[in-house]
Amino acid sequence: MTDRNRRFRLRGWPAFWAASLLVCGCASYQFGNQSLCPADVQTVYVPVMESVSFRRGLGERLTEAVIKEIELRTPFKVVNNANADSELKGRIVSEGKGVLVPGLTGDARDIETRLKVQVSWVDRRGRELRNSEAIPLPSEVTDVTGTGDLVPEVGQSVATAQQKAICKVAQQIVGLMEKPW
């Protein structure tokens, strides 16, 4: 046996074992976002989110953000009729803002906007679809909260801070639609 063959054989064994362990270890691994979602649901109906806030358009903005997140992160198709496989309802129960960092003169330097939403996801028969066995959550309705920071000195507005909170809430809502790891 030549020195060249011996070096090749010594280098080949670790690569062979690493490849075999990789193949065996990934035998039950699933690729894509289909493995994170219920298999019997293909379509989702998302009606306009209700709002108890006096701010106009908040429910519509949240609904739009949730629909975009669903289509971005899940294999579901969002449809406009109630005959879908499932329905995702939401209701904005509180919205407000508070001062995080007061200035020396009494004005606010950093403000936080808060948004609290109740969410339920049911199938056509009215059964809850969210799997809450691994995460202790209430059975019927789940509260989701999002915040956004507003720094007036930099030129930010309440609308931009609300949009940050809306995006965070939309991501959390779609995260609730996924199966726990």
Check residue 65 and give its pLDDT: 95
Residue 154 neighbours by CB under 8 Å, 6+ apart: none
- Beta carbons within 10 angstroms of residue 133's beta carbon: 8
Check residue 135 and give its pLDDT: 45
Residue 147 neighbours by CB under 8 Å, 6+ apart: 112, 113, 114, 115, 164, 165, 168
- For the purposes of burial, counting CB atoms within 10 Å of the CB of 44, is it exposed (0-12), middle (13-18) or buried (19 or more)? buried
Quick one: which of 74, 44, 79, 50 has its CA closest to 63? 50
The structure tokens listed for 111 are 């403000």
23 and 49 co-located in one domain: no
76 and 20 co-located in one domain: no
1 and 63 co-located in one domain: no
Check residue 27 and give its pLDDT: 47
Q: Look up the CATH number of the domain holding residue 116.
A: 3.30.160.150
13 and 55 co-located in one domain: no
Check residue 159 and give its pLDDT: 84
Check residue 134 and give its pLDDT: 43
Residue 131 neighbours by CB under 8 Å, 6+ apart: 179, 180
Residue type (1 letter), 34: Q
pTM of the model: 0.70
State pLDDT tens for residues 49-79. Answer: 998 888 888 899 999 999 999 999 888 899 9
25 and 48 co-located in one domain: no
**Phi first, then psi: what are they for 27, rounded to 5°?**
-65, -40
The structure tokens listed for 122 are 């049911």
Check residue 5 and give its pLDDT: 59
Check residue 144 and give its pLDDT: 80
Check residue 157 and give its pLDDT: 82
53 and 19 co-located in one domain: no
H-helix or E-strand containing 158?
helix 158-177
Spatial contact of 120 and 86, defined as CB atoms under 8 Å apart: no
The structure tokens listed for 105 are 């003169």
Instruction: Quote the mean pLDDT of the chain.
Output: 77
Check residue 63 and give its pLDDT: 94
Check residue 132 and give its pLDDT: 46
Q: What percent of the chain has pLDDT over 70?
A: 70
Rg of the chain in Å (alpha carbons): 24
Total number of domains in the chain: 2
Mean pLDDT per 10-residue interval, the chain, length 181 residues: 59 64 53 58 89 86 94 90 87 85 79 87 77 48 75 79 89 81 55
**Which structural domain range is residue 15 located in?**
1-30
